[in-house]
Each structure stands twice: as C-alpha cells, then as structure tokens.
Amino acid sequence: MSEITGQESGQPEMRSDMTGAKALWATLAAHGVSTVFGYPGGAIMPVYDALTYYPEVRHILARHEQGAIHAAEGWAKATGEIGVCIATSGPGATNLVTGLADAMMDNVPLLAITGNVARHLMGTDAFQEADITGITLPITKHNYVVTDPDMLPTIIAEAIRIARSGRPGPVLVDIPKDVQLAVFKGELAAPHAKPEPVAPRPEALEAALALLKTARKPVLMVGGGSQGASKEITEFARAWQIPTITTLMGLGAFPASDPLWLGMPGMHGSVAANHAISQSDVLVGFGLRFDDRVTGRVKDFAPNAQIIHIDLDAAEIGKIVRAHLPVKSDAALAAVAMTADAVPFDLPEWQAQLDDWKTRGEHPTTWGAAQAVRQVVARLKPDDILTTDVGQHQMLAAQLARFEKPRRWLTSGGLGTMGFGFPAGLGAAMAEPGVVSMVIAGDGGFQMTAQELATLTKYDIRNVKICIINNSYLGMVRQWQELFHEKRYSEVYLGDSNPDFIKLADAYNIRGWRADNSADLESAIDAWLAHDGSALLEVVVPNEHGVFPMVPAGAALYEMIESEPVKVPTTEAGK
C-alpha cells in the first residue's frame, strides 16, 4: 500500500467548485476511460454525485459488485485496455475481492476505486468500514489510500500506469469520503507515456537460437502473456515450422486453423499437445507461467527437453519448471528477433508422430455436454467473443472451439472463478457492440451472477447470447467424485432446486429457448442466434459424462486418461 500526502505549494487553483470527486472523474476522462462499472453506497456517494457533471463517462449500474468487476474484466480482456469498477466501503469493497484476485492471476489491467469512511473515522470500526487496502494487498499489483485530495489525480494516473505496464494487473485506489468532498486545489494529471517494451539481451537471444536449431522434436508453447503478440508469434512459428501449443489462457494467440497447431496442454489438454510436450527435446515457452494445470507432475514435465522460457516477468522464469535458457523480454520483440534468423524445420518422423496423436482423444458423439458445446461453438464467427464460466463446459469449450484471433476467448484461468462468465461476457459486449458475445455457463455457475440479467435489460445490450449447459450437477466436482471418491456424490446435485431458466429469462424480458435432445438442438440454436437482441439458450444434458482427455492429479502429462468408457444414460435428459 502507498499513502501519498502533500503537494508542493504555488500551483494554480482550479475553479472554486472542483472537489476531489470531480477531480477523479476529470482524470478518468482525460485518460480515455469511457465506461465504468459500479454500484453506489454511502461512502462513495460524493463520487456518484459528481458523475452527473461528466456525461462523457458512461456508468453501468450492475446488480452486484462482483458482477461489476467481472464486467470490467471482460471489457479489459476483450480490448486489452484498462477496465474500471467502483464500489462503496465495507461490503461493497469486499465484494470486489474475488474479481481482484481473478484479475491478478490472469494479468488483467484493472482499476478498482472504493470509497471509505472519513479520514478521522478510519481505524475506529466505523459503520461499513473495512481495511480494503490491507485486505487486497496480496491480490493487487499495488494499492493506495488517498489522504490528500490534491494528490488524487496524480494517484489515479499512477494507478492506471501500473495496471497497464509490464505484466498487467489490478490496482485499487481507496478514497475516504471527506477526501471526495474536499475542495480540490491541485492540478489534473496528464496520462503517463507508454513505457518502452523490454527487448531480449543479445547474448540470451543468440543462445536461444543456437539451442533451437539443434531440435529434432521442437515444440512451441504460447501462454496468456502472448495475447498482445499474436501476429509476431504466429510469424515466428510459421517461419520455423514449429509445432505450436496454446495454453488455456493463450487460446487465440495462434490460429487454430494452422496445421502447426496441436491444441491445448494440461489437465484437459489434447492428446497431441500432452504427448508432444512429453517427448520434445527443445521446448520454447512464450508468456506462460507453467502452472500446475499445465505441467501435471512437475518432475516429469517435458523430461527430455531443454526449455527456453521467454517472459516479461523474471519472477516467473524458473519458478515452477527449470528454464535452461531464460530470456526476459517482451513477447513480441523476442518473437520478431527470433524470426529474423529462422531455419525451417523439416522433420517428417516427428510430424508423422504428431499427426497420429492428433487423431486420438475424440469426444463421444452420443448426446451430452460435448455434443452440445460442439454445436454451439461451431456457430462462432472469427470476430465473435466466447466467454465461459468455470467447470466441465469451460474445458469442453476450450477443447472444441477454434479461435483465429487473440482476445476472442475470455475465461477465468488461474483462479477458476464460478460466476465469471456471464458478467464478463456482458462487459465484453459493451466494449465491442458490433460482434456477438457468446457466454457458455453451467447451471451452477450461472446462478452465482444471474442477477446481471437485469443489467442486460436495463441497458438494452443486444449482442449477448447466453448458453446454459444444464446437467443438474456441479459437473466437474461430480466427475472427480466419480473417479476418485468411489462415486460418493456429496453436495453436488442441483436438479431438485434449479429454477426454470427460461422463465427466469422471461422475468427479465429476455427471450429463451430450451433443447433437451440432439434433434431439437440445431433449430434451437438457429432461433437463439437469429433473435434480434440478447437471448438465452438452455441445453439439458445427461450428467453421466465427464471431460476427457484428463490428467489425474499428481500424474504426468503422458499418463492422461485419453477417453472415458461409453456410458448409457438412463434418459437423454439424464433424469
């Protein structure tokens, strides 16, 4: 936490009616912030009063602070620009905690602004007081409490710079109520210049190229930190003709239609990706953390490979997986530098092995979540955005969707936040109103933020298409209980208390369709997508199916379960 106080005297005064709250909005507008998501309350009320003087900034009233911050994340993930959310003190601020942790894990540039009790009340356990800067210290890049109103624009400008620069992430600014009300006598702060990207050191680059040229089983892994370097990394992969894997957060950074693409690695990764990693001799990683869901049993991850790890954040290099050649660099600059000296690989035996692996691990064609997700994502156009919640549907969408462009796939990766998908899709839809923002959610996760249907209606957002995969269970937990807990299905059944999702949508004046068998699904999808406005599709599926391939906890990637035995459900709807 930083506490900034004081300012040099002698600066010209602003107009007499300028307050700290007005200075906040003037600074946000000067930094190009056009849309903020929030929810008012007592300790942030002066900021909301001042908003009426700044019509150039659009405020979106969510129905819960968690909905507001996930919508801001969706905006940021889709655009690459900063997302902004606002909440009051106490419970309003603490309701942002999950979104802040999510943004920190997934490197989302985010500015969270919270109100707090007046300065003289801080530390007294006043009504709706919370030490939000102390609470969020581990889950933000930086945070501030503003104790001098004249420093507020400087702090906001610095917070935006920190959130955007280097490895992006969330920054929180906490503003006591009396600071918002105080007369502002300082100067508005101009936006910071964008920092120059970090280039690779020549000696590190030379060593990496020399090692790469020795490869006979090369593999490229592309992570979420490469979304802004998609063009450069794609050119690098094609110049070298190197087989390419995109992580869950890297999907879209390399086009799925390219013959070099092997799919996603890790716990629910493709057979080709996981076996390629396990047998590679040189592995190049761009902008990824090698987290546990990607590596499986760490000591057996890429056991025969020399690893070149390229990342902007030096703290990530070698943190989990040993990097034989660490390269601290901006992903785009490193890719360009390594493309200039490319020597295309011609490795027919390796390619034949990869082609064989690509044919394995197919999903069953029987009616179930996999077939439903396959048919839904097949309708996506290249510019459309796909947002998911967390669970079986998320992994199926990651396996089955095909992304040609970056920032078209929005999901909660590191934190695995249920309730993320719908509000994030809503935020993305507002950022890009000209494309379809498709949301795939489970019946469990959707209910965590379903109240944002009101936001959809209030602002007449017309490009959100919500698909609920309803298997009446917390499906991923159920899958683990089936496989590893002797089918003791403890507290995962939702079917006896789920709402009628079509009636729920209708209550918010949103059209809905339902399909509970393969014959009706296509026509339901047609009607859902053709509807002029946002709409909801519920697909009722059996609950017996799992998501495969799957690497069990503690296993190596090459020990994955490639497919599940064929199961015969009691009925198509799994009742």
pLDDT of residue 370: 94
pLDDT of residue 9: 33
pLDDT of residue 363: 72
pLDDT of residue 575: 37
Q: How far apart are CA 279 and CA 265, in angstroms?
A: 13
Domains 2-181 and 369-547 share a fold: yes
pLDDT of residue 17: 87
Q: Which residue(s) pair with 244 in the sheet? A: 220, 261
pLDDT tens digit sequence for 33-61: 999 999 999 999 999 999 999 999 999 99
**CATH number of the domain at 202-358, please?**
3.40.50.1220
Which range is least confidently modeled, 22-31, 166-175, 290-299, 556-565? 556-565
Q: Which of the four pLDDT bands, split at 50, 70 and 90, describes residue 567? A: low
Taking 80 as the threshold, does the pLDDT of residue 388 lie above it? Answer: yes
Q: How far apart are CA 522 and CA 123, in angstroms?
A: 59
* DSSP E strand stretches across 83-211: 83-87, 110-116, 142-146, 170-176
Q: How far apart are CA 79 and CA 476, in angstroms?
A: 30
Residues forming the active site: 65, 127-128, 177, 476
DSSP readout, 387-398? EE-SSHHHHHHH
pLDDT of residue 8: 36
Query: What homologous superfamily is domain 369-547 in, according to CATH?
Result: Thiamin diphosphate (ThDP)-binding fold, Pyr/PP domains (3.40.50.970)
Q: What is the DSSP letter of 365?
A: -
Q: Which pair of structure tokens corresponds to residue 389?
A: 């919640």
Q: Which residue(s) pair with 115 in the sheet? A: 175
Strand order in the sheet with 2-4: 2-4, 142-146, 170-176, 110-116, 83-87, 35-38, 58-61
pLDDT tens digit sequence for 225-241: 999 999 999 999 999 99
pLDDT of residue 566: 55
> Angle 518-530/369-377 helices, nearest 10 degrees?
30
Q: Mean pLDDT over residues 71-77, rounded?
A: 98
pLDDT tens digit sequence for 502-513: 999 999 999 999
Q: Which of the four pLDDT bands, split at 50, 70 and 90, describes residue 4? A: very low
- Cα(first)–Cα(last) distance of the chain, in Å? 53
Taking 70 as the threshold, does the pLDDT of residue 295 lie above it? Answer: yes
Q: How far apart are CA 5 and CA 173, in angstroms?
A: 14
Q: Where are the alpha helices (DSSP H) in 411-493?
A: 421-431, 443-446, 453-458, 475-484
pLDDT of residue 194: 85
Report the percent of the chain where pLDDT is more than 90.
92
pLDDT of residue 564: 73
Beta strands 110-116 and 142-146 are: unpaired
Taking 60 as the threshold, does the pLDDT of residue 12 lie above it? Answer: no
Q: Which pair of structure tokens corresponds to residue 359?
A: 């044919």
- What CATH architecture does domain 2-181 belong to? 3-Layer(aba) Sandwich (3.40)
Taking 70 as the threshold, does the pLDDT of residue 565 lie above it? Answer: no
CB of 182 closer than 8 Å to CB of 149: yes
pTM: 0.94
Which range is least confidently modeled, 22-26, 102-106, 438-442, 568-572? 568-572
Q: Mean pLDDT over residues 145-169, rounded?
A: 97
Q: Where are the alpha helices (DSSP H) in 346-414?
A: 348-358, 369-377, 392-400
- Give domain limits for the chain: 2-181, 202-358, 369-547
Place of tokens 């390229």: 310
Q: Specify the long-range contacts of residues 3-7, CB closer than 8 Å, at least 24 apart.
A: 3/144, 3/145, 3/147, 4/144, 4/146, 4/147, 4/148, 4/151, 4/154, 4/155, 5/147, 5/148, 5/151, 6/148, 6/151, 7/148, 7/150, 7/151, 7/186
CB of 279 closer than 8 Å to CB of 216: no
All residues at 6 or more sequence positions from 434 whose CB lies less than 8 Å from its CB, including other chains: 463
Mean pLDDT of the chain, nearest integer: 94
Q: How far apart are CA 450 and CA 558, in angstroms?
A: 39
Q: How far apart are CA 371 and CA 62, in angstroms?
A: 33
Q: Which pair of structure tokens corresponds to residue 319?
A: 């943190």
Q: Mean pLDDT over residues 126-144, rounded?
A: 98
Taking 60 as the threshold, does the pLDDT of residue 11 lie above it? Answer: no
Q: Mean pLDDT over residues 411-432, rounded?
A: 98
